[in-house]
A = this chain, B = another copy of it.
Amino acid sequence: MLEDKNQKKTSIAELGEFGLIEHLTKDIQITQESTIKSIGDDAAVLDFNNKKVVVSTDLLIEGVHFDLAYMPLKHLGYKAVVVNISDICAMNATATQITVSIAVSNRFPLEALEEFYEGVKFAAKTYNVDIVGGDTTSSQKGLVISITAIGESNLDDITYRSGAQPTDLLVVTGDVGAAYMGLQVLEREKQVFQVNPNNQPDLEQYSYLIERQLKPEARKDIKELLSKLEVKPTSMIDISDGLSSEVLHICKQSSVGCNLYEDKIPADPQLINVCEEFNIDITTIALSGGEDYELLFTIKMEDFDKIKANPNFSIIGHMVEEKEGVHLITRANTKIKLKARGWNALSED
């Protein structure tokens, strides 16, 4: 669990609840103008002037959302913050504050929580958000993390899932599928390790995939980039559950259909290699993988020229009338109905 296995282990009970909170939060710096009062009272106090407030929350459970066998606590703290900030980015808003609550069983020494908080604080610094509150308590089993992210935006900039129109273009940032295959590589290494703990894995060729799984980033840069390009997205969502699931969310909430082109879906070369090695269809991974935390959004057709040559974006499809349905157009030019997710994500229409 701890990065340095020979490290000192201090029982949390020694500090007590208030002592623990004080210890973990004592060096937290406040940088946001909107933070009036941070940790230390019954609630935090924030001032957004005339801006709108955006709020999102996530609950992460050990054994369900993460496995400490291959997830270092520092990375976990970082990732837990990032996935929440990603939700704020998906509203085309700017994250400003987070609250961080954890419940831990007595198998966690203080040093483990310090590592977790190191990751949390590093993410807060990287994304320029203030940690303004939270709760620290004990659990009966394992680690439970609850993070709430708060952001701000002008009303005009906020982008919902529901604004897509037929003929809009579908755009994705970065590449997809890598985080999921990173998890598969880690799962395999965990099993190898269980058989032979002395085995030294060479993970060099999987470095990008593993980084996407263990240290994902939220696309905080996209709001500014789109603003500079003078593109206002008509709908937006982040890719947490997988591309097909998110496309279907936009289609359902916008009452539109979509044609998604298999050959346009962006994949990293490492992903292509590993899918060959694992003998898995790369499109299934790209559609159903999840945890990429890229942004998926729609733009008006007339904005095509502003986007087309930009390396941050891939135009992967276009929206159609709702009655036409949601389809993947394969490389062989067949039309397959898109289903929600998982390994049976596709079925012939």
Contact = CB atoms under 8 A, between A and B. Distances in A.
A140 B91 contact: no
Interface string A44-87: 11111110111111110111110000000000000000000001
Interface in A139-179: 139-142, 144, 146, 148-151, 155, 158, 160-162
The interface centre, meaning the residue of A57, A87, A93 with most chain B CB atoms within 10 A of its CB, is A57
A63 B138 CA distance: 10
A57 to B, nearest CB: 5
Contact of A133 (B56, B64, B132, B151): B56
Nearest to A36: B52
Interface of A is mostly: strand
A302 interface: no
A59 B135 contact: yes
A48 B48 contact: yes
A64 B103 contact: yes
Interface residues of A, number: 61
The interface centre, meaning the residue of A61, A93, A149, A158 with most chain B CB atoms within 10 A of its CB, is A61
Contacts of A162: 41
Nearest to A136: B59
A92 to B, nearest CB: 10
A158 B268 CA distance: 51
Number of identical monomers bound together in the oligomeric complex: 2
Contact of A58 (B41, B101, B141, B150): B101
A46 B150 CA distance: 10
A85 to B, nearest CB: 10
A57 B133 contact: yes
A64 B105 CA distance: 10
A262 to B, nearest CB: 25
B44 A135 contact: no
A103 B56 contact: no
Interface in A95-143: 97, 99, 101-103, 132-135, 137-142
B55 A42 contact: no
A165 to B, nearest CB: 17
A291 interface: no
A238 interface: yes
Contact of A42 (B59, B91, B103, B135): B91
Contacts of A63: 140
A45 B52 contact: yes
Given A43-B149, A47-B53, A64-B140, 16 more contacts: A36-B155, A37-B160, A41-B161, A43-B90, A44-B56, A45-B158, A47-B52, A49-B50, A50-B50, A57-B133, A58-B135, A59-B102, A61-B144, A64-B139, A103-B144, A141-B141
10 contacts: A42-B90, A43-B56, A45-B54, A45-B158, A55-B97, A55-B99, A57-B133, A58-B101, A61-B139, A64-B137
